Amino acid sequence: MDQYFEHLNNIAITVCDAEGNVLDMNQHSADVNSHGHKIIGHNLMDCHPEPARTKLRGLLEHQQLNAYTIEKTLDDGSKVKKLIYQTPWWKADGQFGGLIEYSIEIPFEMPHFVRQPKPKQ
């Protein structure tokens, strides 16, 4: 994983190929996933229960984006809110490469801004 992403402590990045095999992950992804770096080379279908497995299979088959938020209670009782952003990635030749999942810790309350285009002069 690129040096810029390896030591992010609040963003887990996991990359899989077009069949769902894990190609790479940053350290935070390894820390928050139960099997850590050991899942590299293994299929994500084996790591997810239903209905997540069916959803993942559909994302790979249709080369689709999936984005949502979750709230999770940690082992110590604290809570964390995350944005899960699963997006297709493409090889240099334009072929579908697989998915990249970004799991980003976000504040429970955060501002939302609507940006308008600048008026034409």
User: CATH classification of 3-106, choosing from 3.30.450.20, 3.30.360.10, 1.10.600.10, 1.20.1740.10?
Assistant: 3.30.450.20
Please determine, for residue 5, whether its predicted confidence score (pLDDT) is greater than 90: no
pTM of the model: 0.89
**pLDDT, tens only, 11-52:** 999 999 999 999 999 999 999 887 888 999 999 999 889 999
Neighbours of 80 (CB within 10 A): 14
Instruction: Give pLDDT, residue 2.
Output: 66
DSSP strands (E only) in 18-95: 22-25, 66-73, 79-90
